[in-house]
């Protein structure tokens, strides 16, 4: 009997240890930026990998805690990205209250699962007034959680870096009124391609900032990695908050060779990444078929090629 008790106690200790270790926030705690790296509460490098929900205004059915649970438990996501559409119909500018509720469902699901979550202002244009109101609300409500990362401008398109920089400073100041330390992701011009411009003129006076670069492997090649290398050499911390394996229009075949080259580059530089997207649109980058339920529990038959491969990548650490 004593032997059985010892074995049971040992198994219980191992189970509890694995349970805590598998919960990213319990394991890493508050995140910060040191040099070009994201680090945890112990100063160890953290590489957060996960997926982005599609635009909330077009695929709201997936914005719930059950989907977050499935992405954590089955896909092994350590982070998810809640992409709040800003300009389109039923986006934030059109329906702010409803939009916030959809985003909050994902945030609260992530807190419950103890994973990290990016609150993404998913916009292609400057909307400073709306952004200030939204991030004041989010930082005031959730800024005390270590789970939170803010992405304050998804993909600037036509604005110069000076315009984006000026906007970003104002939003950062607003967030920091309520949340002094959670990481803030800053976009760069031309669909987050012009990271070399940021490297020559970064934002100063704030801690825990990272800059985003986005790639779609069949379109964006070595030139963009060269820009990333240039930024890293100048001490600019990078996070890939949106990426996938096909062309930049989200469609066409997946280029596995190009995608693997990007994965190798991110691994080499300890850069975390988010794949696009949890949606059922008729395009290659949408990971789900129409048959996929709104609350996870997806079978492989519910996943499109990009979903199958992204899940494999998150679960095994390699793209086969």
Residue 123 included in any domain: yes
Residue 146 included in any domain: yes
Q: What is the pLDDT along the chain (320 residues), one digit of tens a residue?
A: 544 454 344 333 333 334 444 799 999 999 999 999 999 999 999 999 999 999 999 999 999 999 999 999 999 999 999 999 999 999 999 999 999 999 999 999 999 999 999 999 999 999 999 999 999 999 999 999 999 999 999 999 999 999 999 999 999 999 999 999 999 999 999 999 999 999 999 999 999 999 999 999 999 999 999 999 999 999 999 999 999 999 999 999 999 999 999 999 999 999 999 999 999 999 999 999 999 999 999 999 999 999 999 999 999 987 76
Give the pLDDT of residue 16.
Answer: 37
Which domain covers residue 259, as residue numbers?
A: 30-316
Give the pLDDT of residue 22.
Answer: 73
Domain count, the chain: 1
Residue 93 included in any domain: yes
Residue 14 included in any domain: no
Residue 18 included in any domain: no
Residue 215 included in any domain: yes
pTM: 0.93
Give the pLDDT of residue 6.
Answer: 42
- Compute the distance between CA of residue 17 and CA of residue 313 in angstroms, rounded to an integer: 25
What is the crossing angle of helices 65-73 and 96-113, to 10°? 40
Give the pLDDT of residue 270.
Answer: 98
Give the pLDDT of residue 21.
Answer: 44
- Compute the distance between CA of residue 182 and CA of residue 144 in angstroms, rounded to an integer: 9
Contact predicate 193/214, CB 8 Å: yes
Q: Which residues are designated catalytic? A: 155, 242
Please tell me whether the peptide bond between 47 and the residue prior to it is cis, using omega within 30 degrees of 0: no
Residue 188 included in any domain: yes
Give the pLDDT of residue 44.
Answer: 98
CATH number for 183: 3.20.20.80
Give the pLDDT of residue 318.
Answer: 79
Q: Map the chain to HEC letters.
A: CHHHHHHHHHHHHHHHHHHHHHCHHHHHCCCEEECCEEECCCCCECCCEEEEECCCCCCHHHCCHHHHHHHHHCCCCCEEEEEEECCCCCCCCCCHHHHHHHHHHHHHHHHHHCCEEEEEEECCCCCHHHHHHHHHHHHHHHCCCCCEEEECCCCCCCCCHHHHHHHHHHHHHHHHHHCCCCCEEECCHHHHCCHHHHHHCCCCCCCCEEEEEEEECCCCCHHHHHHHHHHHHCCCCEEEEEEECCCCCCCCCCCHHHHHHHHHHHHHCCCCEEEEEECCCCCCCCCECCCCCCCCCCCHHHECHHHHHHHHHHHHCCCC
Residue 5 included in any domain: no
């Amino acid at each position: 009997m004593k032997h059985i008790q010892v074995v049971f106690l040992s198994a219980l200790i191992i189970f509890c240890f694995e349970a805590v270790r598998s919960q990213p926030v319990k394991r890493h705690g508050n995140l910060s930026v040191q040099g070009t790296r994201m680090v945890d509460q112990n100063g160890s490098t953290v590489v957060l990998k996960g997926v982005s929900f599609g635009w909330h205004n077009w695929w709201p059915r997936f914005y719930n805690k059950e989907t977050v649970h499935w992405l954590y438990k089955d896909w092994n996501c350590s982070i998810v990205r809640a992409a709040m559409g800003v300009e389109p119909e039923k986006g934030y500018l059109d329906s702010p209250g409803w939009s916030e509720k959809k985003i909050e469902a994902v945030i609260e699901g992530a807190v419950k699962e103890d994973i990290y979550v990016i609150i993404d202002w998913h916009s292609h244009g400057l909307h400073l007034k709306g952004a200030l109101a939204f991030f004041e609300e989010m930082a005031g409500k959730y800024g005390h959680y270590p789970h939170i990362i803010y992405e304050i401008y998804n993909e600037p398109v036509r604005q110069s870096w000076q315009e984006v920089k000026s906007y970003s400073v104002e939003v950062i100041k607003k967030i920091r009124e309520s949340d002094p330390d959670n990481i803030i992701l800053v976009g760069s011009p031309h669909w987050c391609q012009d990271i070399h411009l940021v490297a020559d003129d970064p934002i100063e006076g704030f801690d825990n900032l990272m800059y985003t670069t986005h790639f779609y492997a069949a379109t964006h090649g070595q030139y963009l990695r060269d820009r990333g290398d240039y930024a890293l050499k100048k001490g600019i911390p990078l996070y890939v908050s949106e990426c996938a394996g096909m062309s930049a229009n989200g469609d066409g075949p997946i280029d596995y060779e190009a995608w693997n080259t990007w994965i190798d580059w991110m691994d080499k530089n300890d850069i975390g990444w988010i794949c696009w997207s949890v949606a059922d649109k008729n395009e290659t980058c949408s990971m789900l078929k129409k048959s996929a339920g709104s609350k996870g529990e997806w079978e492989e038959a519910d996943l499109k090629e990009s979903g199958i491969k992204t899940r494999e990548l998150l679960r095994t650490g390699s793209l086969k």
